[in-house]
Amino acid sequence: MSAQIPQPNELHQFLVPETVWETYQRAKSGNAESQYAMYAVYRYGRGVDVDPVQSAAWCLLSAEQGYPDAQTALGVIFNNGEGVEQSCTEAVKWFTKAAEQGDVYAMDNLAAAYYYGDGVEKSFAEAVKWWTKAAEDDHADSQLKLATAYYLAEGSDRNVPEAIKWFKKSTEKHSRDAMRSLGKIYREGDGVEKDAAEALKWYSLLAKEGDGEAQFIVGEMYLAGEGTEADRDAAINWFRLAAEYDYDPALEKLKELGVEE
């Protein structure tokens, strides 16, 4: 599992060297936010040398006071073994604390831990539970991961309608993976009734994002009249676009059609 850490907030991101001492004094006095700021100082080298051990120590102090950003960051620290002995179990412990306070990054990381069984017993139900919470809070990565989990699951865990719901939500943030998955689902009729026109819609959106494979597929669909009226000229235009993105099958298709690039 590759854990994700939230970017420092405005206070931490723009912390300048002349304020580090003041922040340190507040942190030493027990201010949780300042302790988290000191974590950021040492993690990102804000006016000091990067020091994973110091960074982890300040993060722990803040996390122990219940500061959710610090708890999430500490989960990442333990997950990756940055300045501490690596421990997925400790990572899960801190992700859980932050997730229970509503931190979407922690929810996303906790869901992944349950999904892959990192530091905790593998549980599809728990993974879906936490990804759903984060997805409902509009966390883009979680929306895509939730959709993918439902789509790739086996047996009774598989839920294509839910996968489609979250893939569509993810496309609102221009997720290419979500567009590709929707195109595939509708073109193949995988868990839903085949709908070539709907497949063409999603592949076309992806193609317009500059995806060579999608451009090629749209070309194929126009050539075969799949989901639309057959249109050789439109197909060739899409194959040419895909070829410009060095998509080899498009180059081969143009040669097969006797068309110059």
Any idea what the Cα angle at residue 108 is, between residues 15 and 146, rounded to 5°? 145
CA 91 to CA 75: how far, in whole Å?
A: 4
Provide the b/e sequence for 248-260 (b: ≥16 CB within 10 Å).
ebbbebbeeeeee
Residues 164 and 185 sit within 8 Å (Cβ to Cβ): yes
- Tokens representing 124? 């599809």
Greater model confidence, 24 or 72: 72
Task: Give the per-residue pLDDT at 130.
Answer: 99
Q: Is the dihedral of CA 185, 188, 194, 196 positive or negative?
A: positive
Read off the pLDDT of residues 189-231 as tens digits, 9 standing for 90 and up.
999 999 999 999 999 999 999 999 999 999 999 999 999 999 9
Distance CA 146, CA 129 (A): 9
Domain boundaries, the chain: 1-86, 174-261
Fold classification of 174-261 (topology level):
1.25.40
Tell me the pLDDT band of 131, cut-offs 50, 70 and 90: very high
Quick one: average pLDDT of 153-165? 97
Residues 19 and 33: their CA atoms lie apart, in Å, by 14
Residue 70 has pLDDT above 80, yes or no: yes
